């Protein structure tokens, strides 16, 4: 701690006359050891690891290049897919039917049935190859090196950051630039032990959220009005507490408050991004009205978030100057400030990513998880019982030890992700030519790994429409599932950087909610998803929260 403080204090002084922010700390490189371990960890069960290791990629080295010309390898131009107009491709099908932008996932399935497990589609000048076969997907992942290239997670956010001269952040950059950022946050964000340091804050916000639900639920019916918005407020409050160690005041925020405006802006960013993505990209040439709206929404979120970063950094500086920074205080920011390879812009964008990203990812995932439990009351009761065994007293904090023992909860969450993944794809841009499914895919092609679309197919799962957490439990009930099917956080070196935080928050929230309530679904019909760059529930979720005796 003392060393770290000296480092921060020293670097704060240095920063005045250097563009680099902080100096004197050891980097946390993405070592080969780490690379190997991450490839063989995560959602890949042990019994599949040898399969994963021996299923060699078919990426091409120079000497293999002649294979492309071999009779067995079909050229890229022969790859099937929907035909469209020059440049526009199939855009008009989304504008005027039969497809729709908000059901893009369904049109991909339609194309899968028409063209098979590998096809390509061009929409407004952007050509993408789609892989809907776990074996093909494993080939893509296994040809990755230490720095897999991806298209930007959100093209429009990448553009915004460029226009405003901000750091691109992790999901919008590649190569050495990405490696530098990722190495810097790796230890803090990907190590479960590091993330568990934030458990007290997560507990506190979840407890306050549960109290709020008790207050705002309609007494007779148990319904919670605008539940999605309530979850968004919980998530932003929780992230503010993790990133800035403040209470931001989201839970009780009024509808015109800055907190609520930020939540609304975050939704608008995705809605507008969808509009720009399914259109001719004029916005790349000049500021179209839609781009203008998008910049305004980004500005609103970013400027208010940046204020929080600035205020917290000022507090840290002043505490350091007075020698009063306590051990473990402002953990996330002091950690980043201790990394000499990060400048102020990087530190800000990495912090703001942790602050904001859960709104579009953790929240829709949580709705999916709660829905699955609500419409499967027997599984909900089984989960509640397993929680009660581990933590009989609902006033006790949820510890790391409790979380590590919640095996049934983890299986429920996996099964929930099978029903409600948050996106249709994980994308890659291979840096070498690859041969997949007998087709030559040139280096630099945008390839989408659409395993999330296969998660309810009988080819891959027994009783796929049945919510069966037991299929993931070690033992007799465990199902033999292909290791490259259920990868809710992606895979490999570019796996989700917020995964540990998201999992921790979801686990704590589900435990506390079930300790206090029985959850019921009050719609007549089932919940489905709509596409808005990511997948979100297609309707306002109406849950009943019935207090447990
Ligand atoms: C349930 C919640 C979440 C899910 C299901 C999820 C899923 C994903 C997926 C599938 C990817 C692409 C991975 C790949 O390309 O292999 C990704 C990337 C990423 N996620 Fe998440 N995510 C979640 C929450 C979060 C949160 C809370 C953060 C906040 C820090 C976050 C930050 C990121 C970042 C920065 C990347 C890009 C990583 C890189 O390119 O190095 N995610 N996420």
Residue 119 bridge partners (DSSP): 130
Q: Residue 72's pLDDT is what?
A: 86
Q: Strands 529-532, 426-428: parallel, antiparallel or unpaired by DSSP?
A: unpaired
- The annotation status of 406 as a binding-site residue, yes or no, is no
3-state secondary structure of 96: helix
Query: Is the CB of 497 within 6 Å of ligand 1?
Result: yes
Query: Is the CB of 128 within 6 Å of ligand 1?
Result: no
Query: Is the CB of 422 within 6 Å of ligand 1?
Result: yes
In order of 262, 407, 535, the CA distances from 410 in angstroms are 31, 5, 21
| Ligand 1 atom with least separation from CA of 501 | 27
| Ligand 1 atom with least separation from CA of 181 | 41
In order of 129, 378, 416, 520, 542, the CA distances from 374 in angstroms are 37, 9, 11, 5, 11
Indicate if the alpha-carbon torsion angle 212, 216, 222, 224 is positive or negative.
Answer: negative
Tell me which residue has its CA closest to atom 17 in ligand 1: 496
Cβ neighbourhood burial of 389 (10 Å; 0-12, 13-18, 19+)? exposed
Determine contact, residues 121/82, Cβ cutoff 8 Å: yes
Cα(353) to centroid(ligand 1), Å: 10
Q: Residue 512's pLDDT is what?
A: 98
In order of 81, 141, 427, 446, 536, the CA distances from 129 in angstroms are 9, 15, 10, 6, 23
ipTM beyond cut 0.95: yes
Q: Residue 10's pLDDT is what?
A: 42
Tell me which residue has its CA closest to atom 26 in ligand 1: 498
Cα(161) to centroid(ligand 1), Å: 18
List the chain pLDDT tens, one digit each, 549 residues: 444 444 444 443 333 322 222 222 222 334 433 333 333 333 333 333 333 333 333 444 444 555 556 678 999 999 999 999 999 999 999 999 999 999 999 999 999 999 999 999 999 999 999 999 999 999 999 999 999 999 999 999 999 999 999 999 999 999 999 999 999 999 999 999 999 999 999 999 999 999 999 999 999 999 999 999 999 999 999 999 999 999 999 999 999 999 999 999 999 999 999 999 999 999 999 999 999 999 999 999 999 999 999 999 999 999 999 999 999 999 999 999 999 999 999 999 999 999 999 999 999 999 999 999 999 999 999 999 999 999 999 999 999 999 999 999 999 999 999 999 999 999 999 999 999 999 999 999 999 999 999 999 999 999 999 999 999 999 988 999 999 999 999 999 999 999 999 999 999 999 999 999 999 999 888 999 999 999 999 999 999 999 998
Taking the C-alpha atoms of residue 529 and residue 547, their distance in angstroms, rounded to an integer, is: 28
Determine contact, residues 178/170, Cβ cutoff 8 Å: yes
Query: Is the CB of 42 within 6 Å of ligand 1?
Result: no
Query: Is the CB of 419 within 6 Å of ligand 1?
Result: no
| Ligand 1 atom with least separation from CA of 356 | 29
CB contact set of 159 (below 8 Å; sequence gap of 6+): 283, 284
| Ligand 1 atom with least separation from CA of 178 | 41
Taking the C-alpha atoms of residue 182 and residue 188, their distance in angstroms, rounded to an integer, is: 10
CB contact set of 548 (below 8 Å; sequence gap of 6+): 384, 515, 516, 517, 518
Q: Can you read off the two tokens belonging to residue 503?
A: 């999992």
Cα(403) to centroid(ligand 1), Å: 21
Tell me which residue has its CA closest to atom 32 in ligand 1: 498
CB contact set of 43 (below 8 Å; sequence gap of 6+): 414, 483, 486, 487, 488, 489, 491
Tell me which residue has its CA closest to atom 34 in ligand 1: 497
Taking the C-alpha atoms of residue 216 and residue 224, their distance in angstroms, rounded to an integer, is: 7
Cα(494) to centroid(ligand 1), Å: 9
């Amino acid at each position: 701690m003392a060393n770290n403080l000296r480092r921060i204090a020293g670097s704060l002084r240095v920063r005045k006359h250097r563009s680099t922010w902080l100096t004197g700390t050891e980097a946390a490189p993405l070592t080969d050891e780490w690379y190997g371990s991450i490839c063989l960890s995560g959602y890949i069960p042990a019994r599949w690891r040898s399969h994963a290791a021996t299923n060699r990629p078919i990426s091409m080295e120079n000497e293999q290049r002649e294979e492309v010309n071999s009779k067995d390898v079909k050229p890229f131009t022969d790859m099937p897919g929907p035909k469209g107009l020059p440049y526009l491709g199939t855009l008009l099908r989304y504008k005027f039917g039969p497809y729709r932008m908000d059901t893009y996932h369904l049109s991909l399935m339609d194309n899968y049935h028409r063209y098979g497990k590998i096809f390509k589609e061009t929409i407004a000048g952007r050509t993408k190859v789609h892989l809907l076969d776990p074996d093909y997907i494993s080939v893509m992942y296994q040809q990755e090196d230490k720095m897999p290239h991806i298209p930007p997670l959100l093209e429009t956010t990448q553009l915004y950051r460029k226009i405003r001269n901000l750091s691109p952040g992790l999901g919008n950059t590649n190569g050495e630039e990405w490696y530098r950022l990722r190495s810097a946050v790796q230890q803090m964000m990907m190590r479960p032990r590091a993330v568990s340091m934030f458990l007290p804050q997560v507990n506190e916000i979840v407890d306050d959220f549960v109290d709020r639900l008790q207050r705002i639920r309609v007494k007779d019916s148990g319904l919670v009005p605008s539940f999605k918005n309530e979850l968004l407020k919980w998530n932003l409050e929780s992230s503010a507490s993790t990133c800035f160690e403040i209470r931001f005041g989201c839970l009780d925020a009024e509808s015109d408050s800055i907190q609520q405006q930020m939540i609304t802006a975050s939704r608008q960013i995705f809605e507008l991004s969808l509009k720009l993505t399914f259109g001719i990209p004029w916005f790349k040439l000049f500021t179209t009205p839609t781009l203008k709206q998008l910049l305004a929404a980004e500005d609103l979120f970013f400027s208010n978030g940046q204020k929080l970063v600035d205020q917290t950094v000022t507090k840290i500086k002043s505490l350091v100057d007075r020698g009063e920074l306590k051990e473990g205080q402002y953990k996330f920011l002091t950690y980043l400030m201790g990394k000499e390879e990060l400048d102020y812009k990087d530190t800000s964008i990495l912090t703001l990513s942790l602050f904001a990203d859960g709104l579009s990812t953790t929240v829709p995932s949580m709705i999916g998880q709660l829905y699955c439990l609500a419409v499967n009351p027997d599984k909900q009761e089984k989960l509640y019982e397993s929680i009660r065994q581990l933590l009989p007293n609902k006033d006790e904090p949820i510890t790391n030890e409790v979380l590590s023992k919640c095996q049934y909860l983890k299986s429920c969450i996996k099964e929930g992700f099978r029903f409600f993944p948050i996106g249709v794809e994980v994308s890659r841009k291979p840096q070498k030519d690859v041969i997949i499914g007998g087709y030559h895919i040139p280096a630099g092609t945008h390839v989408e790994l659409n395993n999330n679309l296969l998660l309810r197919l009988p080819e891959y799962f027994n009783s796929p429409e049945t919510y069966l957490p037991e299929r993931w439990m070690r033992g007799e009930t465990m199902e033999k599932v292909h290791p490259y099917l259920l990868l809710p956080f992606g895979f490999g070196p570019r796996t989700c950087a917020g995964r540990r935080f998201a999992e921790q928050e979801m686990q704590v929230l589900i435990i506390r909610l079930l300790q206090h309530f029985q959850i019921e679904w009050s719609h007549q019909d089932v919940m489905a998803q709509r596409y808005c760059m990511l997948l979100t529930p297609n309707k306002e979720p109406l849950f009943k929260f019935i207090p447990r005796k």
